[in-house]
């Protein structure tokens, strides 16, 4: 099991990301729109994983709701798996509560699926298709 990325919710990518780039000495990717989650995402590569910064693109985005309730901060952790659908099915059959029972398109052209935060004691966990 590999941590694919750690996601951080921010109000504005243009304000948040340069600070991380400068203080960590790492460079971020160009922003990408992810319509299924109503966010704009930027990835910052560190040596062993990625940080994903998420800015809402609409007021009903899950990230807009998160920011309104909790402010900027860590939003979810994503693990890479060979098949998201298989992982979700395995968890569902073990009685684990899920947000997505089948995968959907995420950032970087990869399928993703989210567990309910109660499934991992308050931590929002995403599974994302491993790179081929």
Q: Closest CB to its own copies among 57 and 79? A: 79
The minimum distance between CB 78 and its own copies, in angstroms, equals 11
- Write the CA distances from 3 to 14, 49, 52, integer angstroms: 25, 7, 12
Distance, in Å, from the CA atom of 68 to the CA atom of 23, rounded to the nearest integer, reads 26
Q: Which one, 30 or 95, has the nearer CB to its own copies?
A: 95
In the chain, which ranges are continuous DSSP H helix? 13-24, 62-70, 84-93
**Contacts of 79 by beta carbon, 8 Å cutoff, 6+ apart:** 1, 2, 3, 4, 125, 126, 127, 128
> Nearest approach, Cβ of 97 to its own copies (angstroms)?
11
Closest to its own copies by CB, 30 vs 94, is: 94
Write down the least CB distance from residue 105 to its own copies, Å.
24
> Which residues in this chain contact its own copies in the complex, by CB under 8 A?
1-3, 6, 8, 10, 15-16, 19-20, 22-26, 46-49, 70-74, 77, 79, 91, 94, 96, 117, 119-123
């Amino acid at each position: 099991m590999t941590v694919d990325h750690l996601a951080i919710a921010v109000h504005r990518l243009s304000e948040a990301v340069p600070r991380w780039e400068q203080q960590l000495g790492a460079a971020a990717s160009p922003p990408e729109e992810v319509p299924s989650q109503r966010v704009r995402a930027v990835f910052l590569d560190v040596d062993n994983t990625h940080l994903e910064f998420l800015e809402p693109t609409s007021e009903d985005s899950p990230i807009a709701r998160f920011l309104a309730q909790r402010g900027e901060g860590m939003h979810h952790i994503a693990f890479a798996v060979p098949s998201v659908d298989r992982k979700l099915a395995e968890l569902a059959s073990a009685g684990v509560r899920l947000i997505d029972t089948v995968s959907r398109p995420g950032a970087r052209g990869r399928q993703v699926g989210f567990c309910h935060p109660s499934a991992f004691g308050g931590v929002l966990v995403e599974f994302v298709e491993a790179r081929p």
